[in-house]
């Protein structure tokens, strides 16, 4: 088995991702997978025959390897508890299978280490068999005697516990299996002790080591199961509590919970553009196709209004989207990012014509900037233009666009301003009809204010990433000495 595990390097360095390889009872630690693939030497090697595997009962993804000599501890953490279980099983069985006569010669000094290992096992077994005993005292008749002739402390422990717990049938089977393993290994240990008097160290060692490993693997397995059962019970309880809370919330807000507006219902918006942005040489690059799709969706804003006063605005914006798509298609260069397209035209000094992508994107971004500022003016509570659509528009126009228009176009805008729809018209156009009707139908006092607050929230969610995109494009033009 091999894979990435986080290794604890202390409070200064914290957790560091390493690449571990388990092979022939040895766990090797590499700085990274690449190091391993390039056959670089391992930074650390653990002989499982010299380690104790300790499962963390608090954090379901952590476990430790503790050297039986010197007690050095290596704390490890996986991404998920399933990964930890796989590692523990593999490590446990590697330890259990580690021993055969061909490796006997490589084992540590028999007397000290096998004593250590034996004491570790009896500690582990005692700790867990008291747990096993609590299940057994319920699962098996209390007066049933162990078959074993031995009267070791462990046998008494198995029968003497007085912590009964209720277990279901499958768990009883599982417990009984563990008891059987424990009894078998106790018999093996007792046989080994008998052998001790005959001083046949080779057989003794084999008996003790084999039993210890089998016991350890069985106990670790049991611990894992118990820890998982407890975790599962907690997860189930949490899920039930969360579900209940959500159902209560839905019941309270059902009539406006599915609240939807133009701003919340676009399949592609500028959040997707921001999420698709990468950084190259410290510069942000905006994904061209996602940007054009978000602009295409933005055009639906104009479709929500009746009348034709805004048609010229819509046509100008749509025309620029088309120009950029055409340049991308005709260039055959498979541009991914807007900045690449503009850089390409500017580097060839082909960026000034009316049908260039540079010009189309420049004017498109100016339209987006006016839109962004207009929406912010309309919904921000501290602006002098809140809910005043005309004032909100002319303020945005004068600040961001007028300077790029000749007197005639400016005149046209001033005339058109007289036809800016009212705020109520804006609300009715932006809030999906079904939600409007549901809100109205409640008959509650202030239902429109509730809808208005939710719409304002949707507007802010929509223009936040839009503003980021606008600023990044303005920055790009500024770096090319083009007034954005
Ligand atoms: C209801 C409010 C509407 C008020 C104004 C309506 C009056 C319309 C006046 C007619 C103007 C037509 C717009 C076109 C302008 C273009 O001349 C200008 C320059 O075009 C560019 O020329 C380049 C060189 O030739 C060329 O390469 C490029 O392709 C071409 O685009 N274009 C612009 O100025 C771009 C911006 C125009 C759109 C800005 C509006 C942004 C949206 C604001 C939100 C409106 C909110 C309405 C409120 C609704 C309810 C309250």
CATH 3.90.550.10 for domain 254-479:
no
CA-to-CA distance for 285 and 9, rounded, in angstroms? 37
Task: Answer whether 370 contacts ligand 1 (Cβ < 6 A).
Answer: yes
Query: Each residue of 263-290: pLDDT tens digit?
Result: 999 999 999 999 999 999 989 999 999 9
Task: Answer whether 409 contacts ligand 1 (Cβ < 6 A).
Answer: yes
* 2-99 against 254-479: fold identical: no
Q: What is the pLDDT of residue 69?
A: 64
Q: What is the pLDDT of residue 169?
A: 59
ipTM (interface pTM): 0.97
Q: Which two tokens stand for residue 153?
A: 């402390």
CA-to-CA distance for 51 and 65, rounded, in angstroms? 6
For residue 187, how many other CB atoms are within 10 A of its CB? 15
Contacting residues for 21 by C-beta, under 8 A, at least 6 apart: 1, 2, 27, 28, 30, 36, 42
Ranges of each domain in the chain: 2-99, 112-225, 254-479
For residue 401, which of 455, 444, 365 has the smallest C-alpha distance?
365
CA-to-CA distance for 109 and 112, rounded, in angstroms? 6
DSSP letter (8 states) at residue 145? P
The H-or-E segment that residue 411 falls in is: helix 407-417
- The pTM of this model reads 0.55
For residue 292, which of 322, 327, 248 has the smallest C-alpha distance?
322
Half-sphere exposure of 394 (CA within 13 A, CB side): 16
CB 80 within 8 A of CB 6: no
CB 484 within 8 A of CB 366: yes
CATH of domain 2-99: 2.30.29.30
Low-confidence stretches of the chain (pLDDT < 70) are 68-70, 98-179, 181, 192-205, 245-257
Task: Answer whether 353 contacts ligand 1 (Cβ < 6 A).
Answer: no
Which atom from ligand 1 is nearest to the alpha carbon of 320? 29
CB 171 within 8 A of CB 132: no
Task: Answer whether 142 contacts ligand 1 (Cβ < 6 A).
Answer: no
CA of 298 to the centre of ligand 1 (A): 14
């Amino acid at each position: 088995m091999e894979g990435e595990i986080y290794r604890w390097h202390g409070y200064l360095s914290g957790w560091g991702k390493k690449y571990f390889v388990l092979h022939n009872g040895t766990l090797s630690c590499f700085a990274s997978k690449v190091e391993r693939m390039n056959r670089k030497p391992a930074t650390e090697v653990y002989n499982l025959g010299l380690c104790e595997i300790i499962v963390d009962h608090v954090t379901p993804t952590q476990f430790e390897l503790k050297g039986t000599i010197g007690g050095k501890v290596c704390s490890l953490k996986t991404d998920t508890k399933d990964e930890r279980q796989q590692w523990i099983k593999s490590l446990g069985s590697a330890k259990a299978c580690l021993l055969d006569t061909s490796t006997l010669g490589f084992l540590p000094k028999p007397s000290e280490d096998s004593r250590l290992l034996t004491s570790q096992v009896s500690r582990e077994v005692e700790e867990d068999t008291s747990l096993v005993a609590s299940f057994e005292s319920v699962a098996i008749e209390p007066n049933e005697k162990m078959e074993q002739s031995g009267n070791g402390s462990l046998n008494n422990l198995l029968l003497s516990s007085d912590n009964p717990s209720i277990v279901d049938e499958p768990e009883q089977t599982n417990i009984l299996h563990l008891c059987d393993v424990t009894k078998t290994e106790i018999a093996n240990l007792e046989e080994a002790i008998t052998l001790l008097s005959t001083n046949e160290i080779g057989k003794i060692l084999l008996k003790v080591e084999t039993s210890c490993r089998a016991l350890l693997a069985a106990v670790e397995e049991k611990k894992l199961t118990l820890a998982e059962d407890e975790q599962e019970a907690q997860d189930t309880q949490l899920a039930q509590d969360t579900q209940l809370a959500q159902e209560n919330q839905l019941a309270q807000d059902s009539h406006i919970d599915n609240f939807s507006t133009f701003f919340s219902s676009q399949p592609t918006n500028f959040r997707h553009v921001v999420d698709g942005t990468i950084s190259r040489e410290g510069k942000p690059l905006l994904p061209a196709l996602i940007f054009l799709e978000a602009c295409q969706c933005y055009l639906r804003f104009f479709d929500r209004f009746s009348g034709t006063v805004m048609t010229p605005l819509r046509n100008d914006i749509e025309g620029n989207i088309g120009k950029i798509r055409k340049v991308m298609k005709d260039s055959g260069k498979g541009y991914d990012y807007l900045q690449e397209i503009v850089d390409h035209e500017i580097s060839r000094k082909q960026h000034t014509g009316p049908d260039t992508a540079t010009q189309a994107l420049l004017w498109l971004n100016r339209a987006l900037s006016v839109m962004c500022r207009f929406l912010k003016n309309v919904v921000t509570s501290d602006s002098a233009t809140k809910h005043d659509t005309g004032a909100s528009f002319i303020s945005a126009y004068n600040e961001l666009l007028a300077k790029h228009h000749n007197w005639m176009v400016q005149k046209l805008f001033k005339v058109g301003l007289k036809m800016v729809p009212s705020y109520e018209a804006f609300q009715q156009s932006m809030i999906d009809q079904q939600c409007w009707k549901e809100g109205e139908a409640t008959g509650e006092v202030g239902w429109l204010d509730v809808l208005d607050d939710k719409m304002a929230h949707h507007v802010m969610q929509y223009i936040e990433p839009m503003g980021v995109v606008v600023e990044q494009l303005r920055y790009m033009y500024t770096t090319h000495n083009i007034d954005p």
